[in-house]
Amino acid sequence: MGLKEVKSALLKKGWAGRTLSREETVERLNPLIKQHMALNHAHTYVINTCTEQDVAEALAAFQKTARVDVGKLMETVFSCGGVAYNGVEMEPGDFALDPDDNEMLFALRDQEQAFRDAVAEELTLEHQMRTRAVLTRLQTNNQQRFDFLKINTKKRRPKAATS
């Protein structure tokens, strides 16, 4: 058990010492919201373009939870008195991937990995407990999507590897 877990168990209401301020939380979560929205647009592209119906349907089921996750991040920013990134300048066409099923799944897996890394980095910081709970849920949901993509790309080869 790490120091953070011991502090949490002892105090039952937050970390001993300094946690990130509300302003710092807003500054840290808005880029994560933007990254998650971009990831969701990429998922939508794959869902609408992938010729493998079973893969598209599974990703669509994950997408419902991913949209809720963005909402939870936004709610956290609002609860800190901040303005959440809203993605109005994002155009779905900006997130088009290679139309080849193999290539788009590899690209989506790589984006999930990048998001996974960003969430893991946030969890190393002293966020308030409610923010940590949201980030931990994001991490769990991301891991499920990543595992699905990892399994579905395991036997595939990207174009560069087959050339």
CATH number of the domain within which 103 lies: 1.20.1260.10
- What is the tally of structural domains in the chain? 1
* pLDDT tens string 48-60: 999 999 999 999 9
Distance of alpha carbon 18 from alpha carbon 56, whole angstroms: 44
For residue 12, name the pLDDT band (cuts at 50, 70, 90). very low
158 falls within a domain: no
Distance of alpha carbon 113 from alpha carbon 126, whole angstroms: 22
pTM of this prediction? 0.83
For residue 62, give its domain range: 19-153
* pLDDT, greater one: 21 or 156: 21
